[in-house]
Amino acid sequence: MNELIEQKYQVPASEQQAIELLSILSEIKKYEKQIKEAQKLVKNKYKDVEKKLQVYYESQLSLDEDYKLDCDFGKLSKSNRTKWKYEDEKSIINQLEVLAPELIRTKKEIDKNALKKKVDVTDDGTVIMETENGIEIIDGVVAPKEESISIKTK
C-alpha cells in the first residue's frame, strides 16, 4: 500500500495507462474497505472494554461513593447532571407561546427548492427573478453550470 501512496501518477497518454490507473483506483477502494472493516472492529472492541470498565467502576462506587481512578492511561470518575428530554416539541412550543413567548425562536431560512423553481439562471450563472418591477438579479446566489465526469471502479 505504501508504494501506491508514494508513487507519482501522470495524466494517462493512452487507454492502457488509463486502465492501469483505474486498476490502481480499484485497489485503493479495496484498501479503504479493509480499513473501514478494521475501524468497525476496533470501535466494537472499544465499546466492549468501555462497558467492562463501567461495570468495574460501578462496583467500586458501591463500596466507596467518592471512588475515582486516575492513572497515566486515563481516569474513571462520575459527574451528576440533569439530562433534558423534549418529547413533544410542538406541544411545548404551543405552551411556551402562551407562558413565555421570549423562549421561542423563529428561524428564518431560504426555501431553496422553491427558489430554484421561481428563478432563472443565465449562461454565466447569474440568478434572476421576474418581479412586478421587471427582472431582478438575486445577489449572493450564483448557479454556474458544471460538467462532471463519472469514474466508477469495480
Cβ-based neighbours of 64, under 8 Å, separated by 6 or more: none
140: left (phi over 0), alpha (psi -120 to 50) or beta: left
Q: Is residue 126 part of a domain?
A: yes
Give residue 25's domain range. Answer: 1-77
pLDDT in tens, 117-151: 999 999 999 999 999 999 999 999 999 988 877 77
Q: Is residue 123 part of a domain?
A: yes
pLDDT in tens, 1-29: 566 666 777 787 899 989 988 988 899 99
Residues 66 and 3 in one domain: yes
Q: Is residue 148 part of a domain?
A: no
pLDDT in tens, 42-91: 999 999 999 999 999 999 999 999 898 988 888 988 888 888 999 999 99
Q: Copy the grid coordinates of residue 116.
A: 430554484
